[in-house]
Structure 1
Amino acid sequence: MKQVWIINQYITSPDIEGDGYRHYYVAKELAEKGYDTTLITSSFSHAPYRHTKIKGLYKLVNKDVRTLVLKGNKYGKSQGLGRIISWIVFVIQLMCLPLISRNKIPRPDIIVLSSLPLLPILNVILFKALFYRKVKIVFEIRDLWPLSAIELGNYSKRNAFIGFLSYLEKKAYQNADFIISVIPRADIHIKEVLTHEKFKFRWITNGFKIPSSSRKLELSDVCDTSINTNDFNIGYAGTLVVANPLDTIIQVVGNHENKQINLFILGGGPEKERIVKLGKDYPNIHVLDRIPKKYVQSFLSQMDLLFMGKGTKNTTIYKFGTSQLKTFDYFFAKKPIIQALNSSENPVTYSNSGYVVEPENDVELKEKIDYFIGMGKDGRNSYGNRGYEYLIANCTYKIIGERFAEVFDELMT
């Protein structure tokens, strides 16, 4: 079998006491296509949260998918110094890979580096120059850094650290034999950075793992909040971060003249405390604690409409598109979706499962909410079913694994 390394500091999987995630499921599908995968990650991830306890510098977990966990530092804030230090620690730890026995980690034919972070591209370039001269490099873009830091973190383009990240980004594009992205039109951005089109690119969307069991789990087992299904309930499930703002929908629902409309916000994250304060004056705004992922569908099934936001009205980074993980949970729940986003390049638009509205536009958002309230359950079900059909046809990990294998096959020929 051909050997693949997938390097990402934030990989999580059931094998290392985390929720199942993209690279774990992709690796399982690749095994059926003749590719043996090793996942390489850090012991700590802030989003999705995972803290794998290990002794020594690394731990090899060889269960469903071979996973090498490197000792990393734990940090609190996603925008703090601790996170940057974790990038440096991870890069240093990656240098031990060529020294680990091939019996533990087979020599790679393909190395997939998934961003963020960008620093490990230096490791990969060095590995190819000194140890694995024939290895093929695949760079997977999950976030457009440093563009995200400039737009969402308000960093200046002239900032020295941003300049260094820009250098790393360009190096990654220049040294990649193939570029993959979950962002539909990331190729436009790559062209802007490289100033040419001489690169191989493929959009491979984020994905969804179809549950192995159809047994419905009871939300009441993990959540004390009761949901009145006679009301009109709008739901959000996901990480609470600056990039996924909820301010406008809290204000629209909180001030809505129909007091039988509720907004339920499920999740945790750096913005949790601020969101709780923002919603505390509205009796129809309910902020719930994070629950195990397997119960999320039970929550979504009790909603009439689902919401997600990405960026503000002045954010331009999402013009290249989005592929938010929660989209696919929403699709599987067969519910209509409103997404606040400055782009038509997204699965909600592609599937015709709802509407995309301008971020921070309270008038447009209220109009779409009222539209779904007025259309009745059958009409809402039609939107939900279209999202589900799109999910099954395009976004399962079986299909995504096939697309990865097609890229690898091209590189190996």
Structure 2
Amino acid sequence: MNILLINHYAGSPQYGMEYRPYYLAREWVKMGHNITIVGADFSHLRIKQPTAGEEYIDGIRYVWLSTPAYQGNGVGRIKNMLSFLWKLYRQEKQVIGEHKPDVVIASSTYPLDIYPAHFMAKKYKAKLVFEVHDIWPLTPMEIGHMSKWHPFIMVMQMAENYMCRHVDKLISILPKAEEHYLEHGLAKGKFVHIPNGIVIDKNSHGGGGNLPAAYIELFTALRSKKHFILGYVGGMAKSNALMALLEAAVKVQDLPVDIVLAGDGAERAGLVTKAKKYGLEQVHFLSAVGKSLVPKVLANMDALYIGWQDTALYQYGVSANKIFDYLLAQKPVLWAGNTGNNPVKEANAGLAVPSSNPEDIAAGIRQMAGTEKVLLNQWGTNGCTYVKANHNYRNLAEKFINAISG
């Protein structure tokens, strides 16, 4: 089968997030399928940007479309989106290449890529699949507090409705999103839940390497203090409730606990400023590292944090990549937030507090830091067993193929 996967923010181990397209495609290649991933040559999620043009990575054909760079979530990012969408039409022959698609998958987080995807699917008589990462435009409405009458939101809503009417299958990483899409015109039987996952083989992250000197220096210093280390590794966005984590840190300064935040993102500068303002000497910031080094970073933590803003958006469930990396690392997890699903509870892999307000997070930190090591280790083991059984990308890739083949 020839599969064209459109993902504006697609990445790979050497380029950085998003990793899901790469891991699914790598398994599909092993199964004998021809895969083309088309993405923009600039994304705020990556640690390294590719060069516009065509390249092959582990048997996957990538086509990178030239787009303008941007910072933040303003006009520059919208220009980047529009440039990518326009290039999909204008460079269609380059995108398609030698293999006419049997399936076209639109998977760019925002729903506007459904238009060029539908155009190509119709032209080549291919199946049309839409993959949901976040529910748009509900996500910018809930997280960014944008009005449903904002022109940007109205355009996104039109695209979501268009997708629901024309798609052959809707693949969602969110387990409880079906009702939302049925309300917007999706036909019964077209919704399939396929969560994010992990790759278990030793070479899954494209090699090893050593941690940067700043990492080694910090972890050596923290271990010498014999403090409990609570870590967060991943993108720093508003949705991750990291501001609430810093406010919780103010409330636990009496504890021998250090908090390490590793990564980059739109919220990082504000978090650093806030930590300085509060005099949080026990909070430390490290820059992002490549996927290959994430297991080594996690290995230096005693427990890991993941938080969610308190918003109705998360009633549809969550499936953040970082939680599966956390569980695979055999580390207990502190989960803060009210969500439609909770892998930490399902796996019995740590503690879950009911919201992401600072009081609840602080209570969770106190409980986690005071938990006996035997139980912490058991939570870590439970999580690893759970994620291997339920989130192996090899199995998820097969489930995906079965869903779009039927």
- Determine if the TM-score, normalized by the shorter chain, exceeds 0.5: yes
> 1:95, 1:123 within 8 Å by CA — same for their partners in 2?
yes
Select 2:304's aligned residue among 300, 303, 306. 306
Aligned to 1:395: 391
* Matched AA of 1:70: L
Aligned to 1:250: 246
> 1:323, 1:346 within 8 Å by CA — same for their partners in 2?
no
Residue-by-residue CA offset, 1:390-409 (whole Å, 9 max, x unaligned): 11111121111111121133
> 2:349, 2:383 within 8 Å by CA — same for their partners in 1?
yes
> 2:298, 2:326 within 8 Å by CA — same for their partners in 1?
yes
Partner Cα distance (2:366, 2:197) in 1? 30
Q: Are residue 377 (structure 1) and residue 370 (structure 2) matched?
A: no
Secondary structure at the residue paired with 1:120?
Answer: helix
Select 1:201's aligned residue among 191, 209, 229. 191
> 2:208, 2:292 within 8 Å by CA — same for their partners in 1?
no
Partner Cα distance (2:298, 2:13) in 1? 22
Aligned to 2:159: 168
Rate the CA distance shift 1:225–1:375 in 2: closer, same or farther, 3 A: closer
Aligned to 1:107: 100
Partner Cα distance (1:255, 1:53) in 2? 47
Secondary structure at the residue paired with 1:250?
Answer: helix
Q: Are residue 292 (structure 1) and residue 290 (structure 2) matched?
A: yes
Residue-by-residue CA offset, 1:291-330 (whole Å, 9 max, x unaligned): 233222222112111101122x3x1101111011110110
Partner Cα distance (2:121, 2:187) in 1? 24
Aligned to 2:69: 74
> 2:230, 2:258 within 8 Å by CA — same for their partners in 1?
yes
Aligned to 1:11: 10
> 1:252, 1:366 within 8 Å by CA — same for their partners in 2?
yes
Select 1:34's aligned residue among 26, 32, 37. 32
> 2:13, 2:291 within 8 Å by CA — same for their partners in 1?
no
1:85-234 to structure 2, matched below 5 A, reads 85-100=79-94, 104-129=97-122, 131-132=123-124, 134-194=125-185, 197-210=187-200, 212-213=202-203, 218-219=210-211, 221=213, 223=215, 224-226=217-219, 227-229=221-223, 230-234=226-230
* Matched AA of 2:105: V
Between the aligned residues of both structures, percent identity stands at 30
1:233-272 to structure 2, matched below 5 A, reads 233-272=229-268
> 2:141, 2:148 within 8 Å by CA — same for their partners in 1?
yes
> 1:179, 1:199 within 8 Å by CA — same for their partners in 2?
no
Partner Cα distance (1:401, 1:372) in 2? 35
Secondary structure at the residue paired with 1:233?
Answer: strand
Size of the aligned set, in residue pairs, is 397
Rate the CA distance shift 1:73–1:211 in 2: closer, same or farther, 3 A: farther
* Matched AA of 1:3: N
Rate the CA distance shift 1:89–1:213 in 2: closer, same or farther, 3 A: closer
Select 1:274's aligned residue among 270, 277, 281. 270
Secondary structure at the residue paired with 2:252?
Answer: coil
1:101 CA displacement = 8.6
1:361 CA displacement = 2.7
* Matched AA of 2:106: L
1:6 CA displacement = 0.4
Rate the CA distance shift 1:123–1:336 in 2: closer, same or farther, 3 A: same
1:30 CA displacement = 1.1
Rate the CA distance shift 1:48–1:325 in 2: closer, same or farther, 3 A: farther
1:220 CA displacement = 5.5
Partner Cα distance (1:288, 1:101) in 2? 37
Secondary structure at the residue paired with 2:352?
Answer: strand
1:114 CA displacement = 0.6
Secondary structure at the residue paired with 1:68?
Answer: strand
Rate the CA distance shift 1:328–1:101 in 2: closer, same or farther, 3 A: closer
* Matched AA of 1:212: K
Partner Cα distance (1:162, 1:101) in 2? 28
1:349 CA displacement = 2.7
Partner Cα distance (1:110, 1:244) in 2? 34
Partner Cα distance (1:318, 1:40) in 2? 29
Partner Cα distance (1:213, 1:161) in 2? 42
Rate the CA distance shift 1:367–1:108 in 2: closer, same or farther, 3 A: same
Rate the CA distance shift 1:85–1:163 in 2: closer, same or farther, 3 A: same
Rate the CA distance shift 1:30–1:216 in 2: closer, same or farther, 3 A: closer
* Matched AA of 1:26: L
> 1:10, 1:45 within 8 Å by CA — same for their partners in 2?
yes
Q: Are residue 407 (structure 1) and residue 399 (structure 2) matched?
A: no
Select 1:355's aligned residue among 351, 356, 359. 351
Structure with the higher fraction of residues in helix conformation:
2
Secondary structure at the residue paired with 1:149?
Answer: helix
* Matched AA of 2:329: A
Deviates most, 183-192 or 248-257: 248-257
Secondary structure at the residue paired with 2:8?
Answer: coil
